[in-house]
């Protein structure tokens, strides 16, 4: 029997990268006690830097009255990290053998009645839970980066996941300030990542063929569909775009154009030339700015956008 979602106060976040630490920052800002498991003490400076950057933006959006960055504990022993956990968010490296070994161990040491959610962006829970002795309580909880700002979390179980685990996870994430999307079935890449990958494939094709630079592509998105997608998404944007006739008019009028060769669909070969064009183009956009400066600017702008959308609702 799981603890009621509203009664959860102690969370363990596994992983020292931007996702694992980002989740820790999010939960801290919502007033939880958080234990962050890092594989090695050498990861602490990077984790602290991510956390400090995240906290600036979280404070700008508004944190819970009882929230404090001091409610974070960092440990390097996995058994210690999960001993008092009431929910676990796993963000280990995206390698199946690593995930399977981790879930085999978690299934043995995590207290009964504790749900384990995975941040994986491409693996399925059916594969991840294959060697876990307690697979019924394992579920995908896939965030969008940075998880401390973007509300989406996609939720889906594996073949051995109890349906009640999926429902519990949706309730918990909602109470924890996320926007849960419970998927209808388990598919590779989930929903948001697959949509993002379609854009990514087209961008790579255009760069590879000399049709656009990385800067051109980002300009087209930032000042074209991206602001509209923040408030309407893809389907409603096209529904509203055609006036009173809505989506019916859109499909009847523009449907035949779907067969035009605008898209190449399959991914291009990642040649050294394409790789170098992408790297050089992104370095040109960055103009000498490092990760911390770029991430801080990104977060400030996302905060402003989220607040604007929230205020206009």
pLDDT of residue 250: 79
pLDDT digits (tens, 9 = 90+) for 220-247: 999 999 988 888 888 888 888 878 888 8
Measured distance CA(160)–CA(71) in Å, rounded: 34
Selection from 189, 191, 172 nearest residue 180 by Cα: 172
Per DSSP bridges, beta strands 152-157 and 87-90 are unpaired
pLDDT of residue 245: 83
Number of H helices, E strands in the chain: 12, 8
Q: What are 78's two structure tokens?
A: 């996995």
Q: What φ, ψ does residue 123 adopt, rounded to 5°?
A: -85, 155
* Mean pLDDT value across the chain: 93
Selection from 18, 51, 17, 59 nearest residue 34 by Cα: 51
For the chain, what is the radius of gyration of the CA atoms? 21
In the chain, the domains with their CATH numbers are 5-182 (3.40.50.720), 192-312 (1.10.1040.10)
pTM of the model: 0.88
Instruction: Work out the pLDDT band at 261, boundaries 50, 70, 90.
Output: low
Q: Give Dmax over CA atoms of the chain in angstroms.
A: 61
Measured distance CA(278)–CA(272) in Å, rounded: 10
Query: Which SS3 state, helix, strand or coil, does residue 241 take?
Result: helix
């Amino acid at each position: 029997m799981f603890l009621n979602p509203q009664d959860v106060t102690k969370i363990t976040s596994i992983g020292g990268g931007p996702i694992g630490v980002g989740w820790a920052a999010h939960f801290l800002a919502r007033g939880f006690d958080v234990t962050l498991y890092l594989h090695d003490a050498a990861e602490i400076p990077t984790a602290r830097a991510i956390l400090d950057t995240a906290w600036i933006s979280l404070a700008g959006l508004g944190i819970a009255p009882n929230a404090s960055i001091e409610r974070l504990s960092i440990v390097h022993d996995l058994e210690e990290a999960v001993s008092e956990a009431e929910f676990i968010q796993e963000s280990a490296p995206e390698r199946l053998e690593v995930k399977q070994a981790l879930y085999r161990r978690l299934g043995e040491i995590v207290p009964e009645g504790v749900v384990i959610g995975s941040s994986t962006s491409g693996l399925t829970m059916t594969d991840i839970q294959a060697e876990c002795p307690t697979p019924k309580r394992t579920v995908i909880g896939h965030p969008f980066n940075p998880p401390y700002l973007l509300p989406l979390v996609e939720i889906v179980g594996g073949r051995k996941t109890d349906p009640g685990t999926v429902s519990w996870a949706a309730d918990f994430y909602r109470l924890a300030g996320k926007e849960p999307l419970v998927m209808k079935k388990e598919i590779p890449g989930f929903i948001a990542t697959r949509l993002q990958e379609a854009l990514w494939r087209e961008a790579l094709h255009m760069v590879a063929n000399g049709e656009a630079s990385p800067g051109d592509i980002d300009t087209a998105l930032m000042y074209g569909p991206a602001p509209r997608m923040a408030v309407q998404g893809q389907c409603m944007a096209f529904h509203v775009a055609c006036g009173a006739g809505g989506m019916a008019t859109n499909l009847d009028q523009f449907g035949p154009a779907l067969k035009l060769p605008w898209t190449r669909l399959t991914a291009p070969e990642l040649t050294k030339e394409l790789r170098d064009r992408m790297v050089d183009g992104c370095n040109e956009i960055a103009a000498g700015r490092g990760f911390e400066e770029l991430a801080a600017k990104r977060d400030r702008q996302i905060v402003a956008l989220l607040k604007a959308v929230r205020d206009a609702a």
